[in-house]
Amino acid sequence: MPLLDILLYPDRRLRKQAKPVKQVTEDIRQLIDDMAETMYAAPGIGLAATQVNVHQRILVIDTSEERNDLRVFINPIIDSGQGETETEEGCLSLPGIRAPVMRLESITLSAKDRLGDEFTLVADGLLAICIQHEIDHLNGKVMVDYLSRLKHDRIRKHLLKEQHEQTVRHAGASAI
């Protein structure tokens, strides 16, 4: 199975609104498998389809220490939430960046699993934070949107510079 390319902020495609999955087909399951493999390889604890340039409402998450508890959320909806918690978050689309984000502390969520069956889940702790972070991606939102404009701009410029330097390095290497 191929690893998928992860879009890097400020790529505009990260701003697209993902559409609900109408039917959970074999193609969707193949995409889920590829997304999971990409997430584990990165390594990361969550990945939204938006980040691999597929604009459908699909998330894969594994917040377990052992990396053996893959969770799949298709068309996830947060039905209710309680409390507030602030954590330093990271994101595969913003390598090397950490930012404090305020989230609901616990959530009740409904979604479909990889077989297309509906389920509900009560989540708290890291799982709840991760689900909210990934749902933001489906809505075209990234964690730096929660920061002040000044900090946001600084991070944007820093990442653009890094991406530019990497492109130059790659171009140099292939010229040899």
Residues found near Ni ion in the complex (CB under 5 A) = 91
Nearest distance, CB of residue 142 and Ni ion, angstroms: 7
Question: Is the C-alpha dihedral spanning 164, 2, 131, 86 positive or negative?
Answer: negative
Q: Which is nearer to Ni ion, 24 or 36 (CB)?
A: 36
Q: Which is nearer to Ni ion, 81 or 95 (CB)?
A: 95
Shortest approach of Ni ion to residue 171 CB, angstroms? 28
Integer Cα distance of 97 and 159 in angstroms? 9
Q: Is the peptide bond before 10 cis (omega within 30 degrees of 0)?
A: yes
Residue nearest to Ni ion (CB): 91
Q: Which is nearer to Ni ion, 91 or 101 (CB)?
A: 91
In whole angstroms, the minimum distance from the beta carbon of 91 to Ni ion comes to: 3
Q: Are 103 and 129 in contact (CB under 8 A)?
A: yes
The residues annotated with a catalytic role in the active site are: 134
CA pair distance 147, 153, nearest whole angstrom: 9
Nearer to Ni ion, 91 or 135 (CB): 91
Strands, DSSP E only, in 1-145?
46-48, 58-61, 71-89, 99-112, 118-124
Shortest reach from residue 23's CB to Ni ion, in Å: 26
Q: 108 has which bridge partners?
A: 80, 122
Q: Are 24 and 30 in contact (CB under 8 A)?
A: no
What is the rounded distance in angstroms from the CA atom of residue 99 to the CA atom of residue 115?
A: 35
